[in-house]
Amino acid sequence: MRKIVISSLFVLFSFAVFAQEKEIDSKAVLVLDKMSDIIGDLESCSFKLVSVYDVYNPEGDLVKKHTKSDVYMVGPDKMLINSTGDKGHRQYFYNGSELWYYSHDENNYGMIETPSNILGTIDSVFNAYQIEFPAADFFYPAFTDDLIETSQRISCLDNSDVNGQQCYHILAVGKELSIQIWISNDGLYLPVKYLIIYNQYEGNPQYEAVFSNWQLNPNLPGEMFNFTPPVDANPIRFISKNEKNNLKNE
């Protein structure tokens, strides 16, 4: 993870250009950039994330599902995710060259060879296997630029309270997604909560997640990112999106 330094003059000039086509609130973008700068400057971090999201059941109804995740990162090449909830108890261990998956419920495991950094691994694994990682977007240096590109309107609403934490409340509205982000206004500018509404899908399904227990630059032992399969666990092989498409076409 690395810090992105952005010239305030360049940012403010950019807003004038964007304003001709989009409604971009300069305060909102400066808050988002500050959050990205602080996250990008971290050498390590950990946090808890509680997610509530909609899925379609076989009858086509939207049903709420839940996941709780403990996330640990050491830049640029270590990550551990421990998740429990409606999808079961699952863990991902990334050690800089391999991503290991282990299901406690099914007692099986698999491994994917990966790039040598966290963000490259997240991109590679999603593109090949459609595996998503909690809150990954917040760790991309281009987070603000990507949000501007996909939004027609970005605004900073009145300050809001989330679980006793005073927050900047950012709203970004696009054709396909409407996104709300709550960012702490205590000087650390850390994400506290976010909500995604998928406008392009019937019923406008939602994904909502709340951060807690942020730890900045903790000393995390390297061994926690390595995985050794239990002796009675069963190996599995991940099937890529391309392999699935080829099987369909045969």
Query: Residue 192, SS3?
Result: strand
In the block, residue with structure tokens 């650390």: 188
Beta strands at 234-235 and 108-113: parallel, antiparallel or unpaired: parallel
- The average confidence (pLDDT) of the chain is 91
Matching residue, tokens 């990954």:
136
CATH classification for the domain delimited by 8-220, as one of 2.40.128.20, 2.50.20.10, 3.40.50.720, 3.30.420.40: 2.50.20.10
- Residue ranges per structural domain of the chain: 8-220
Instruction: Identify the residue whose tokens are 């694994």.
Output: 125
Distance separating the N- and C-terminal Cα atoms of the chain = 42
Q: pTM of the prediction?
A: 0.88
Give pLDDT tens digits for 103-133: 999 999 999 999 999 999 999 999 999 999 9
Lookup result for tokens 């270590």: 78
13 pLDDT higher than 70: no
**Residue-wise pLDDT tens digits, 236-250:** 999 988 887 766 665
Judging by beta carbons within 10 Å of its beta carbon (0-12, 13-18, 19+), is residue 237 exposed, middle or buried? exposed
SS3 at position 242: helix
* pLDDT given at position 4: 33
* Residue from 127, 112, 194, 133 nearest 160 by CA: 194
| pLDDT at res. 247 | 61
| H or E, element range at 241 | helix 241-249
Are 46 and 53 in contact by the 8 Å Cβ rule? The answer is: no
Q: 15: closest CA among 4, 2, 28?
A: 28
pLDDT band at residue 142 using 50, 70 and 90 as cut-offs: very high
pLDDT at 248: 64
Quick one: which H or E segment has residue 25?
A: none
| Whole-number Å distance between alpha carbons of 38 and 189 | 7
Mean pLDDT of 181-192: 97
Q: What pLDDT is attached to residue 249?
A: 64
> What is the number of other CB atoms lying within 10 angstroms of the CB of residue 95?
18
Closest CA to 92 of 238, 195, 243: 238
